A and B are shown apart, each in its own frame.
Chain A
Amino acid sequence: MKSQFWGLYSREILRTFRNPLVLLLTLVQPFMWLAFFGSAWSHVASQESQYFGSGNYIAFLLPGVLSTSMLSVGMFGAMSTIQDKRFGFMKRILITPTTKEVIFLSKTLGSATRGLVQIPIMIFAAYLWGVHFGAVTPIEWAAWGVMLFFLAMGFSSLFLAVTAPSTDWQTPAVLANFVTMPFMFASAALVPTPGFPGWMKVISDLNPITYSALLGRAFVLHQTVPWNYLGIIVGFGVIGLVIGYFVSARWLKVE
């Protein structure tokens, strides 16, 4: 089982970075977020520094964008599973003594690992835009990385659970479009939530991206760290993993 997992996990990682276009977009995308979205809002934050908790909007935005990137990573994992089914590769894997559970774990953890690659790139980009990380302690760095890994794992697991019984490539794409808006905008990722209308606040409070963004922001902006949020995200990742594991074992469709 260990060698099967390692074979499929390393395939997930390697095939992403062997495609020059995928590699380029993975590296450039974080810069684009900070460049376009960050620059567009930076003058607002400089005038409303109390509302944003910082006069530097990039510093405010970075933890939110990192969190929403983990959502994209999860969607990508689901799409690669559909692709394996459509090209028959899933059948090739399953006509070996490999279980559906191993396939699920390799896909999920492969996606989560892929997501981690964006973190140092994005932090470097934010540094170039004038964000200072000098006060972030090693424990906080580690906690931030762990939290983002669990967030990516949770999203990846849930997307895989939804797409496990499907072979239709449109399903993950439509689903991604459908959930991106509420996950991204009904959260603390891009703007502070106190200004939200009541119904949006409810969604935001249920949204793991909110907790991830707030915890990361506390590290970057040297605010009081709500450590319980780390527990919430780890819980989200573990629950997602358990749901995905059992759904895939039961319903992962081969073709």
Chain B
Amino acid sequence: MAATDAIEIHGVSKRYGSGERSVLALNGINLTIPKGTVFGLLGPNGAGKTTVIKILTGISPLTDGTASVAGFDVRRESLKVRARIGWVAAEVILDDDFSGWENLQLQARLQQLTDWEERANELLTYFGIADRKADKVSTYSTGMRKKLEIALALLHQPMVIFMDEPTIGLDVGTRRMLWDIVTGIHREFGVTVLLTTHYIEEADALCDRVAIIDQGKIIAEGTPAELKARVKADIVELTLSDGTDPKVLSTLPGVQECRSQGTGWILRVDSSEEFLPRLLSAVPAEHLRRITVEKPSLETVFLQLTGRRMAQDEPMRDIRKFYQQMRRQRL
């Protein structure tokens, strides 16, 4: 492991269960994350993002391969790893019966810190919740709870912070606030951030580098700009009226690929600006029910690499996670 790397993963596989019903969650992934970066692990639900975090934080043992965090092997030196990492969960996990300060105190004890009060006060001030530190956490807003959770993760000055889908279930305003916090803590505290998300815009806005993960494999890695540059095409989605011969689409100049999806067609074209006039001259306007044009993005990268859209089945999964969280809070 180079001194400049915060995380290194070599050929890591993870299998849950055994026998015929076992599931291969990670399939020999390799990843190197340099110190001081905000690194995004982008992929649909079930791709293996959370499993990567579980392995790196020592919560779940890897089946095969090696991984190290902050220079320590996650399998053999788990306690040393855990002293150097922070963790922010998808759903806020705090002790509601305790005040913000008491939550920090418990974290300090778990991290075996002695002089932690000054640092804790600085963090509370930085996040703008110092005046509420004596109040029970159950009286905090969602945004304040998230801030306190991040303060807990930063208290022991970790080298790496893991953020597992930190904005899931948050409203737009709180999500924006969290983005500012991630950018801010990275700048202010120089911490390496490994963030998992299935929100394309989140990875694009926050991450210096992004790895796209699908079905337990890393399928692409690079800066958002590098990844988008791989897609040398615009995506045009069309819905045609009945009776239109779709073959005409694939014969138009500049069309790289033409695929049916559901009731419509997805076309990869050299340039949407040049393609659209050709389309309108070949297909009568009244036969075109819907046209959408998409410039290269991380979503189109995923589409090109997998043939699927990342968000295809996300809304329902988000709702399930939301209700799961609500049930837990009620218990």
Contacts and interface: CB of A to CB of B under 8 A. Distances in A.
Interface of A: 1, 3-4, 6-8, 11, 14-15, 18-19, 83, 86-89, 91-99, 169, 254-255
A87 B328 contact: yes
Given A94-B58, A95-B87, A99-B79, A19 B112 contact: no
Contact of A92 (B89, B105, B109): B89
B252 interface: no
B85 A95 contact: yes
Nearest to A7: B109
B93 interface: yes
Given A91-B59, A97-B82, A169-B331, A15 B107 contact: no
Contact of B331 (A11, A86, A92): A86
Given A8-B110, A95-B58, 18 more contacts: A1-B112, A3-B109, A3-B110, A7-B106, A8-B106, A11-B98, A15-B98, A86-B331, A87-B93, A87-B331, A94-B58, A95-B57, A95-B162, A97-B79, A97-B80, A97-B110, A98-B110, A254-B59
A154 B93 CA distance: 30
A96 B82 contact: yes
Contacts of B111: 96-97
Contacts of A86: 328, 331
Contact of A4 (B89, B91, B112, B328): B112
Contacts of A94: 58-59, 82
Contacts of B89: 88, 91-92
14 contacts: A4-B109, A4-B112, A8-B109, A18-B98, A19-B97, A86-B331, A87-B331, A89-B93, A91-B89, A94-B58, A95-B85, A97-B79, A97-B110, A97-B111
A7 B93 contact: no
Interface in B97-119: 97-98, 105-112
Nearest to A9: B109
Contacts of B83: 96-97
A102 B57 CA distance: 18
A95 B82 contact: yes
Contacts, number: 74
Nearest to A91: B59
Interface residues of B, number: 26
A23 to B, nearest CB: 12
B95 interface: yes
Contacts of B79: 97, 99
Contacts of B109: 3-4, 6-8
A119 to B, nearest CB: 24
A129 B58 CA distance: 55
B331 to A, nearest CB: 7
Contacts of A95: 57-59, 82, 85, 87, 162
Contacts of B82: 94-98
Nearest to B156: A96
Contacts of A15: 95, 97-98
A4 B93 contact: no
A88 B57 contact: no
Contacts of B97: 14-15, 18-19
A11 B106 contact: yes
A92 B87 contact: yes
A19 B136 CA distance: 12
A92 to B, nearest CB: 5
A87 B97 CA distance: 13
B197 to A, nearest CB: 19
A119 B95 CA distance: 28
Interface string B274-313: 0000000000000000000000000000000000000000
A3 B162 CA distance: 24
